[in-house]
Amino acid sequence: MDNNTAIKTENLTKVYKNFWGRKKILALDKLNIDIQKGEIFGLLGPNGSGKTTTIKLLLGLIFPTEGRAYVLGKSTRDVATKSRIGFLPEESCFYRFLNADETLDFYGQLFSIPRKERKLRINRLVDQVRLEFARKRPLRQYSKGMLRRIGIAQALINDPDLIILDEPTSGLDPIGTRETKDIILALKKQGKTVLLCSHLLSDVQDICDKIVILDKGKLQIAGTIDELLSRKDVVEVLIRNLSDEAINEVKAFIKEKQGEVVSIKNPTNTLEDLFLQIVQERNSSSQNRNKIDCEFDQTGPEAMSKNNKTDQLN
Amino acid sequence: MQQILVIAKQTLRESFRNKIFLIFVILSLIAICCSVFMPVVGDGSERIKIVESMCLRSITFFGILAAILLSASSIPTDIEDKLLWTITTKPVSRTNLIFGKITGFIYIIGLLLLIMGSASYALIRFTASKQDVQKGKGLMAREKFEPSNMQVTGKATKNIGDVYWIEGGERGTSTWDFEGLTYKKRTEEFEIEVKLLVESKKRYTTKIPINIKIINPYTGESQTKSIKVSNNKPASLKLSTETLEGSEKLTLVISPKNPGDFIGMSSDSLNVFLGEKSFEYNFLKGLAVIASQFILMIVIATLGSTFLTLPVNILFCLFIFFCGNITDFMRDLSTVINTFEMHDHEHEISAVVNKPNIIVFFLDYMLKKPLLALSYILPNFKNFNVGHYFVDSVNIPHKKVFASFGYAFLYALFCLPLSFVVFKRREFA
């Protein structure tokens, strides 16, 4: 295994057995994957395809029936390696009686991060996942989206080299989704490796370098996004401000070159873009309103009425 | 080490925030306070004994219940809530996780014990101050000396198990040696307490007279006293410490006075009480013995929680605690099964039993042997019983405290590695 490999599995197999030790489910069948350092790697597949089983095996939560797995060059049972891993589970499982600060402090202590450093990191992460307004509220009062945010924060408390995220955007609103994607991309820029497991294919497509698709525990396909999704026989040209006449000329030219025009249409924005645009506009207008309110407060109602009176007199 | 403390702190915080600790504190305090309302027959010292006994029982009951419920539920709940997914994926070994949990439970139970112990002590002191008791009958911890040697001479009529029977009228005597009798004040009294089995050929006799010859081995001086004893009831004789002048040893010779009277005794039938120790210190020692019992229960419950589900584990712990309190009975029961088998074999159906018999087979392999094995495997919780020391106003010997901790430690030494091995192999699917 070379130094650039973050995760490697060799014929990784997991069979869940029943109480009597009889074979019940083949959850993962001879999986071979190789994730390089600095990659964002997507693990895709329908429900029950073996994605979460793979993650659990990589984290040492369960043990392989056959095969081997290495994380950051070490066995999955190696405890010390876990100090370089950040993990966000599919379900947000935290002590519900703790608040955000206490939760992050607890996980920070498990990494033996010094108190001062811990405090700094907690402040930064709470700010990053936008939970400043609820940092003293017990987690039992959090919405699902807020729990995902605190989950992401705890996964990053140790400044990990490898981050394993199981459905990081589930339960998040489009803004949260976008912010999470931005966080993941920022992590990649810092040279971190991210293993992402998600049902939301558009999210994976947006940020992943490589993906594998699993089905019924078997690897179906693996490769880079470009390799897997690009259609070599089709060319897409985006042109702004082209008249109908010019379009017809382009069509004729393509025909002359023995090409086939499949469709000509005006491209649409994604729903996510539209949503974010509306929310941003609303936010900026409310900020303006706040600005006016502030001005009103500064001048005071009496001053405002005075001004109005002066206006009337004028 | 830091991780163990972090997990311990978290476990403690969990019990506080979930109000489990508070519930146990309230319930135990109610139970302790209720002891003053118990009906009592006898003088003020009886009331003190009742309060002492009730307080200790309440402490044991609520402590054990808290130890079982907290330790048996913590890990299964964490597994069910998937909390361990986020903890075991951090650089925390599973061994440290178990150590941390156990440390946390010990903190909780220790704190509960401190609260219950303080409340009990205050209540006992309060009760003692309100009672009009004779001097020396209030709060005390008499120092007990057990015989170093016991000999039965003359006509020992019966010898069943560890009980020796002798007949009166100089046909049998028992000699008891005591050593290490030290005392501070010359004016102090010492007490000889006998608790014997009594039988008599005379009908309707419930009390028989016995002679006690007190010999000072150093001076060679002796005196004989006579007291009446009832079957299996303690009777005492008080003497001045001047009797012990110059010697730390004492020899007592006991025999029934009249022919036709029999006394049965074992090695603990005769004791000497000399001097008093501080009640407070004795109470602390009692709490220490009880605490060692809690630690043992925590370790057992934690072991169960590594492989059992929450309800099964609670049942498992209750079973262990219940059976651990009746190990002697289990051993006796297995002996009874054995007697029954022998009896059948020798007299009633000997011809049949010579051949393999399903009933004997069943009794032997399905009942007697498992019972006997269980009685040796299970922890003997009777070793931690200190109630009788307080009821008898007897000082708890240091060796009892050390033995209790030693027993709990040895048992934990067996349970803990087992917990680690099982938990390391456990999958969090």
- Record: contact A110-B17, CB cut-off 8 A: no
| Residue A305 banded pLDDT, cuts 50, 70, 90 | very low
pLDDT at A301 (0 to 100): 44
Helices marked H in A213-257 = 225-229, 244-256
| Residue A307 banded pLDDT, cuts 50, 70, 90 | very low
pLDDT at B133 (0 to 100): 57
Q: How far is CA A307 from CA A294, A299, A313, in A?
A: 17, 10, 10
pLDDT at A56 (0 to 100): 93
| Residue B206 banded pLDDT, cuts 50, 70, 90 | confident
Is pLDDT above 60 for B355?
no
Complex ipTM tops 0.85: no
Is pLDDT above 80 for B101?
yes
3 state SS of A14: strand
Domains of chain B: 2-134+278-341+378-425 (no CATH), 147-267 (2.60.120.260)
CB-based contact, A118 to chain B, within 8 Å: no
Q: Where are the domains of chain A?
A: 5-229, 238-314
Q: How far is CA A243 from CA A104, A240, A249, in A?
A: 58, 9, 10
Chain B closest CA to A192's CA: distance in Å?
A: 18
Nearest CA in chain A to B426: A62
- Record: contact B86-A154, CB cut-off 8 A: yes
Is pLDDT above 60 for B377?
yes
What token pair was written down for A219? 């690897």
Is pLDDT above 80 for A20?
no
Spatial CA neighbour of B2 closest among B109, B70, B90: B90
Residues of B in contact with A60 (CB under 8 A): 88-89
Say which DSSP state B36 is in. Answer: G
Chain B closest CA to A2's CA: distance in Å?
A: 24
Taking all residues of chain B, what is their mean pLDDT, rounded to a whole number?
Answer: 84
- Which among B10, B86, B425 is the nearest to A93, CB-wise? B86
Chain A closest CA to B88's CA: distance in Å?
A: 7
Run of H or E including A188? helix A174-189
What token pair was written down for B329? 């009975």
- Record: contact A89-B3, CB cut-off 8 A: no
Average pLDDT of B286-291? 94
Spatial CA neighbour of A166 closest among B89, B75, B81, B426: B89
pLDDT digits (tens, 9 = 90+) for A135-187: 899 998 988 888 988 999 999 999 999 999 998 888 788 888 888 888 888 88
| Residue A292 banded pLDDT, cuts 50, 70, 90 | low
How many Å apart are CA B328 and CA B378, to the nearest integer?
11
pLDDT at B301 (0 to 100): 94
- Record: contact B86-A111, CB cut-off 8 A: no
pLDDT at A289 (0 to 100): 64
Choice among A12-16, B387-391, B422-426 with the minimum mean pLDDT: B387-391
Residues of A in contact with B308 (CB under 8 A): none
- Identify residue A69 by its one-letter amino acid code: A
Average pLDDT of A25-31? 89
How many Å apart are CA B205 and CA B198, to the nearest integer?
10
Spatial CA neighbour of B169 closest among B255, B254, B264, B259: B259
Which of A19-28, A89-98, B114-123, B254-263 tops mean pLDDT? B114-123
Residues 148-167 of A with CB under 8 A from B: 154, 158
CB-based contact, A97 to chain B, within 8 Å: yes
Taking the CA atoms of B353, B355, B359 and B361 in sequence, report the sign of the dihedral they define.
positive
Architecture field, domain A5-229: 3-Layer(aba) Sandwich (3.40)
pLDDT at A308 (0 to 100): 45
Q: Determine whether B21 is exposed, middle or buried from the number of CB atoms within 10 Å of its CB (0-12, 13-18, 19+).
A: buried
Average pLDDT of B316-321? 92
CB-based contact, A59 to chain B, within 8 Å: yes
Tracing tokens 């069910």 back to the chain, one arrives at B80
Best B86, B94, B312 residue to mutate vs chain A (most A CBs within 10 Å): B86
Choose between B12 and A301: higher pLDDT.
B12
| Residue A271 banded pLDDT, cuts 50, 70, 90 | low
| Residue A58 banded pLDDT, cuts 50, 70, 90 | very high
pLDDT digits (tens, 9 = 90+) for A205-254: 888 888 888 888 888 888 888 777 777 777 888 888 888 888 888 888 98
| Residue B286 banded pLDDT, cuts 50, 70, 90 | very high
